[in-house]
Each structure stands twice: as C-alpha cells, then as structure tokens.
Amino acid sequence: MSMYRFVKDSSNTSSSKRLFVQGTSEKSPALGPPIVTNFYNPNEIRSLQAIHTHKRLSTEVLGSSIESTKTTRKNEDGTRRITTKIIRKVTTLTRGEEKSVPQELTKRATPRSLKNKPEVAEEAKINERKRVKISDIVVGQEPNISAKDYLLRWAKRTTNKYPGVRVTDFTSSWRDGLAFSAIIHRNRPDLVDWRNIKVQHARERMETAFYIAEREYGVTRLLDPEDVDTHEPDEKSLITYISSLHEVFPEPPSIHPLYDQAAQQRIQEYRELASSVHMWIREKYSLMQDRSFPPTLIEMKKLASESSRFRTDEIPPRQRDKQYLNQLFRDLEKYFKSVGEVDIEPELHIDSIEKTWSRFMTAYQERDRQILEELKRLERLQRLAEKVHREIKQTDSNLDTIERRIEDEARRIERLHPLDAKKIADQIESDLAVTEQNIQSLITDVHTLLNSRYLQGPELDKRVKKLHERWVQLRRLLHHKIVGPLANLSFPVEERTVTKHIRTVQETRNVDTNPHFRAVQEAIEWCKNKLKQFQEADYGTDLPSVQAERELHQREHKHVDQFHSKVDTCVKARQYFSSEELTLYNQHLSQLQKVYAELSTYSNNRLSDLDSLLDFIQSATNELHWLNEKEEIEVTRDWSDKNINLQAIEKYYENLMSDLEKREIQFGAVQDRGEALV
C-alpha cells in the first residue's frame, strides 16, 4: 500500500522552507529523499500541465422517406373501413469533435489589493468589452450592411419554410416562440418534435427552446419566456440572445428537416407543371380577349374552324394536366399536413389555377359564341349580296330591253295611230316604273350591306347607282323620242273618247263571254306569273342547294316548253274571228306571244346560268378539297416530335410545290370562270 506525506525542504539553496510530497510504501523504509521540483527551472516544470478536452456534437439530416400502408376491412354491416398508416423515416448523421487544450499549472496567483473606485470602474469597462456583442458577428463581404441586418437575414434564412414562422424584426416576430424552436429544429431535428411544438403554448415553446440551447450547447439563458411574451419585448435582450444562437449555429444545414428529397422533387414537379399551365392559360386568355374578326366569309370560316380545332386538340391535354395538378396538390397537402401548408407561390396554388382556368374557359366560350354569330351574320350578308348581284343583272337586262323598245317604237311612231302610240308609251312608262321599284329595293339592300360593313358593299353601291343613272337617262329618252312627239299630234278628242269607250266595252265583253279570248287571257296570266316566279327564285349558296335549284328549274323549263302548244292553239283560234274582233284578238295574241317569248328566253338564260354556276362550284369544291387535305397535313404535323423525319418532309415539300405548279393553271381557269359569272 502506497502512502504519501508532506515533508519540508532542508536544502540550503532556498531561503524559505517549502512543503513537498514524499511517497512510501507500508512496512518499508522511505524511498529516498523527497522529490524536489524547482519551479524556476524550465527544464523541471515542462511536464506540469493540465490537459482540458472539449467535445462537441453536431447532427445533420441526410434524408427522409415516407412509407404508407392502406388496410381495407369490410364490416358486418357491409361498410368498408380503410386505415392508412404513414411512417416517416428520417436519417440523421451525428458528428463529434474533440479538442484538447493544455494549460500551465505553474502560474501563480496575482497579488490583489484594495483598489479605489476609479480603478474598479475602469476594470469593469474592460471586462464588459470582453463579453459577446452583436458587433462581433462576422458580416462578410458586404460593406454597407450592419450587424443587426445581417443577424436578421440569418434568422430569416434559418427559419425559412417553417409554417407559421415569419421573422421580420427582433420584437413581435419572436413572441410565439416558434422562431426559437425553428432555429433549434433546423440544426438539431432530433432534439425538437416540431409536430408537438406547434400545439404547445408560446411560453412552453420558449421554455423548451431555452432549456435545450443551454443544456446541449451551453448558451446562457439570458431571457425568460415572460420577458418575450409581452406586447413590447426588449429588442436589445433578444438581439443579444439570438447572437449567442448565431455563434452556435452560424450556417443552417443545406437539407431542410421538414422537406425530404422525395417531397422536394414532387414539389418541383408540381411547380414546373403548374408554371407551364399558368403561362399557357395567361397566353390563351389574352388571345381569347381579341375580338378583331376578319371581314370576309372565307376567313371567318377558317377562324371558326381554328376555334373548333382549339377546343378539340389543345384544351383536352391542358385539362388533363390541370387534373393531374389537382391530384398532385392534394397528395402534397396530405404529406405536409403535419407541418402546415404546402410551400407554393400564390399564383401556382391549385385554387388559383382553377380560378384562372374557369375565367379562361368563360372567355373562350364567349369568343366562340361571338365567332358563330359573326359567321351567321356574314353568311346572311353574303346571301343578300348574291341576291343584289342577281337583281342588278336582271334589272340591267330589263333596261336593255326597254332601251331597244324605245328605239324601235320611236322609228315607227309616225305610222301608228295616236291611241296605239299612247298605249305603247304608257306600257313603256309602266315598265320603267316597275324597274324604278326594283332599283329602290336594291338601294335599300345596299344600304343594309354598307351599314353592316360588308366588304363588297361599296362596289355593289356603285353598280346600283349606275343602274339608277341609266334609268334616268332612259326616262329622258322616252320623253324625248315618244312622249314629246305624241304631244305635238292633233286628233279629235270626241273620236278618241268614243273609240276608246267602244274598244274597252268590246274587249271586256269578248274576254268574259268568248272562250278563245278567255284562253288567251289565262295564258298571258300564266306566263306573267311564271316569269315573276323565275325572277324571284334563288340560285343557291353551295353545291347541294345549286343542284337542287337546277333540278327544280329543269322541271319548270320543261313545263315552259310544253306550254308552247297552248300558244299555238291560241294562234289557230284566229280563224274563228273577223273584222274588229279579229283585230282585238290579234292584239291579245301579240301580247301572249311577247310575254311567252320573254318567259322562254329568261328560262333558257336561267338554266344556262345554273349550269355554269354548278360547273364552277363543282370545280371550285374539288380544288378546295385538295387544298384542305394538304392544309390538314401541315396543320396536324407535330414539329416538336424528336423523331421527326426531316428528309421525308423535305421530299414531301418538293412534291407539294411541284403539284402546286401543275395545278396553278387549273386554279386560274376555275377563278376565271368564277369571275365571268359575276
């Protein structure tokens, strides 16, 4: 058994007697003289050192994963119970640092003596300066930022993405204690259960955070929860304590403990797809606001086709993306239910996407409705313009007939009886009056086209004005060549009156009583009605309607040809009359022959026009079908396909250009035929 005892130094080298430790063993002589160490000799005190070892532990989150298990159980009452069990696994790495610091044991105490008050105050100031201050924080390379702002940025960066934590200052932002808990959880998630922290009271959170910081990292507890949970917390005290936390946790870990890698990938997937859908909706919504429609019917039909293709080709894929976003967002909500809301920009939130989508679909439906209304309006104007065009041609033809008749009657007016000449002048005047009514109707229709901003309205207006000018000229010509000369003729008024009375009575009696007169009169009425029917008939607007009009008119034209036998029968009936009755019958027969000739000519011209129009529409339809097929190939080609065969497309383009050059002459011929019909 070893024993130690204190002995005095008996050497003469030292003026003072000092105590030393001498070791001996039980029941044995002394081991020798005491070991004397000279503290003034460096060689002898080299081994008199105390070794202090400092240990530090740090934990980082390397990753986490979630496993979910669904259990389905069917109850006796037929209901089904589904139980979902979610297990979250977090992988953390704890690192230990050990540092040994030697300390000399040969230092002697410094003699202390009583000091006066100025010396004590000066020493207190020096010691105060040695304490940790906010200004001791290393700010970095930004010369214009203060230590306070840097500390605030550090707090924001450390507590970023923590639900319910929003650090904006060093007072009210820390009252609920979530910011203190977030700083510790960000660096040591194994020490703080964030799910339980959220349901605790503010003072409980702060008490837990202060206790953990002091126990694990030696951060002096400078605050109490009551000091922070007030209406006006002390800013300087908070800054001092937060600076101590900054010294312990200068930089937050790169991996956020609340968001593992799988969750981050899903959030990134949602954010990218939502951004794409959001940008597409904004772009198409701006397009849907455009109401500048083309003025022509062909361009409007193309726009309506594009709108329909947009509804069937572009909207469904984006709608599927939106549905997938909805499902993905709901899954993320379930995943982050324990930590709070999903960290997504407000404009990319699924509710915001749904609202913008609803607004976009409303705009599209409104635009599509307006496109259909505009298309119907242009089709209605197109039909009106075609009617005006036909009536202009017919009126112009009638004016040609009136002009020839005026010239013919003017050459033989001197050989006619004044009453016959007067009757001819009245008939021409009546024809001009009917033509004037037609022109007035054309003017009304043209004004409708102009007010509706029809593209060819001004051109039709010019043609109608030319018709009216020609009508005025023919009226002047009638007065100059027929009415004027008749005014200079003189004949007994009594004879004219008696003759007119006799002829009128005789004509009325014969028409009412004689069957041959009645047959002629009925034939005249039939010809006039049929001529009016042909003049008011339509030509059709497309291939089926033109074909129907042509077939109908072929049947009507056959009836007109067959009616010639009735005219011949009326001609043969002249043998039953003599003297004045024969003259009166010849006048009626002449009127029948004239109106029948006009009817037959108009029917032939209409049949010819229908044949020409049908041939043109068939040719134009064939060319349009060919162009539509080529256009559909170009429109439906997917240029974004990575496996697209550019060589095949180039060869197809060369063949297409060759076909276009070959069909150019055919296109021109069809276009010339169409212009000839106008």
CATH of the domain at 168: 1.10.418.10
Q: Is the pLDDT of residue 56 over 70?
A: no
Q: Does residue 478 fall inside a structural domain? A: yes
Contact 193, 205 (CB under 8 A): no
The verdict on 291 and 327 lying in the same domain is yes
Q: Does residue 444 fall inside a structural domain? A: yes
Tell me the one-letter amino acid at 519: A
Most confident range, picked from 160-174, 347-361, 480-494: 347-361
Of the three residues 226, 249, 272, the one that is the final residue of a domain is 249
What is the Cα 452 distance to its own chain's centre?
Answer: 30
The verdict on 539 and 605 lying in the same domain is yes
Tell me the one-letter amino acid at 411: R
Contact 141, 229 (CB under 8 A): no
The verdict on 370 and 391 lying in the same domain is no
The verdict on 395 and 455 lying in the same domain is yes
Mean pLDDT of 450-464: 89
pLDDT at 132: 46
The verdict on 557 and 668 lying in the same domain is no
Structure-token pair, residue 51: 């070794």
- pLDDT band at 496, cuts 50/70/90? very low
The verdict on 464 and 548 lying in the same domain is no
The verdict on 369 and 387 lying in the same domain is no
Mean pLDDT of 145-163: 87
pLDDT at 424: 83
The whole domain housing 340 covers 261-378
% residues pLDDT > 70 (the chain): 72
Q: Is the pLDDT of residue 127 over 80?
A: no
- For the entire predicted model, the pTM comes to 0.43
Contact 143, 150 (CB under 8 A): no
Contact 553, 599 (CB under 8 A): no
Q: Which residues contact 384 (CB under 8 A, 6 or more apart)?
A: 445, 448, 449
Mean pLDDT of 343-368: 90
% residues pLDDT > 90 (the chain): 19
pLDDT at 242: 92
Contact 66, 86 (CB under 8 A): yes
Q: Is the pLDDT of residue 495 over 90?
A: no
Cα angle 379-380-383, degrees, rounded to a multiple of 5: 85
The verdict on 570 and 603 lying in the same domain is yes
The verdict on 354 and 442 lying in the same domain is no
Q: Is the pLDDT of residue 179 over 70?
A: yes
The verdict on 624 and 650 lying in the same domain is no
Q: Does residue 102 fall inside a structural domain? A: no
Tell me the one-letter amino acid at 194: W
Element (H, E) at 451: helix 418-451
Q: Does residue 638 fall inside a structural domain? A: no
pLDDT at 428: 86
Half-sphere exposure of residue 22, counting CA atoms within 13 Å on the CB side? Answer: 15
pLDDT at 26: 54
Helix (H, G, I), strand (E, B) or coil at 79: coil
Contact 570, 592 (CB under 8 A): yes
The verdict on 365 and 388 lying in the same domain is no
The verdict on 622 and 653 lying in the same domain is no
Element (H, E) at 52: strand 49-74
Please indicate whether residue 93 or residue 413 has the higher confidence score (pLDDT): 413
Contact 180, 221 (CB under 8 A): no
Residues 537-560 pLDDT 10s: 888 878 888 888 888 888 888 888
CATH number at residue 329: 1.20.58.60
Of 82, 83, 81, 86, nearest to 68 by C-alpha is: 86
Element (H, E) at 84: strand 80-104
Q: Does residue 72 fall inside a structural domain? A: no
Q: Which residues contact 484 (CB under 8 A, 6 or more apart)?
A: none
Q: Is 87 exposed, middle or buried (0-12, 13-18, 19+ CB in 10 A)?
A: exposed
Q: Does residue 94 fall inside a structural domain? A: no
Of the three residues 360, 378, 396, the one that is the final residue of a domain is 378
Q: Does residue 156 fall inside a structural domain? A: yes
Q: Is the pLDDT of residue 589 over 80?
A: yes
Structure-token pair, residue 284: 């198409």
pLDDT at 69: 64
Between strands 49-74 and 19-25, the pairing is: unpaired
Structure-token pair, residue 333: 């909500």
pLDDT at 54: 61
Q: Which residues contact 169 (CB under 8 A, 6 or more apart)?
A: 152, 235
Q: Is 81 exposed, middle or buried (0-12, 13-18, 19+ CB in 10 A)?
A: exposed
Of the three residues 193, 222, 249, the one that is the final residue of a domain is 249
DSSP 8-class letter at 90: E
Q: For residue 85, what are the CA distances in angstroms to 270, 329, 337?
A: 24, 20, 14
Domain count, the chain: 5
- pLDDT band at 154, cuts 50/70/90? very high
Mean pLDDT of 549-575: 86
Q: Is the pLDDT of residue 358 over 90?
A: yes
Q: Is the pLDDT of residue 141 over 50?
A: no
Q: Does residue 416 fall inside a structural domain? A: yes
Most confident range, picked from 166-180, 325-339, 572-586: 166-180
pLDDT at 657: 83
